[in-house]
Amino acid sequence: MHARRYIIGAAFAAITAIAAGPASAHDLVETVTPTFDQLIPNIPGKSVRAVVVEYAPGAASPPHVHAESAFIFAYVLSGEIESQVNDGAKKIYGPGESFYETPGASHPVSRNASKTKPAKLLAVFVVDTDEHELTTPTKTKE
């Protein structure tokens, strides 16, 4: 029951953020809302964690790396997300498209591809249970 209340609260917070209206200059970073955190019972020491990442028009995540143990599956829920993993090509993903990051990958580009419409993605992490910092900012080459 506690998990259900947490998810409902997270969903309400996301809806409230969307209803707040257009972004101002200080809102040009992402909003990250944890939505799921569960031990994997048949893989000791591993957990699945999920977050919804919302981007206002023109917003971006700072360049970053994720927890060393994290395998990440990202699924675009709405809008268009421009992403680059490691030194790979930058690519724009639309609703229903996905990409992944392997453990130790860097994520130099993750942003809303639109300056006029919001975008949202679901990021699902398979990670060591004892890793609590899922994202660490890094310097970019850009």
Percent of residues, the chain, with pLDDT higher than 70? 79
113 pLDDT above the threshold of 60: yes
**Any domain includes 88:** yes
- Give the domain CATH number at 93: 2.60.120.10
Helix (H) or strand (E) holding 75: strand 71-78
**Any domain includes 9:** yes
Q: For residue 26, count CB atoms less than 10 angstroms from its CB and return exposed for 0-12, middle for 13-18, buried for 19 or more.
A: exposed
Most confident of 2-6, 67-71, 94-98: 94-98
* Phi, psi angles (nearest 5°) of residue 100: -140, 160
pLDDT tens across 37-92, in order? Answer: 999 999 999 999 999 999 999 999 999 999 999 999 999 999 999 999 999 999 99
Structure confidence at residue 12 as a pLDDT band (50, 70, 90) = very low
pTM above 0.85, yes or no: no
Nearest to 35, CA basis, from 8, 72, 55:
8
| Residue 104: domain span | 2-137
**Any domain includes 142:** no
Cβ within 8 Å of residue 73, ≥6 positions away:
98, 100, 123, 124
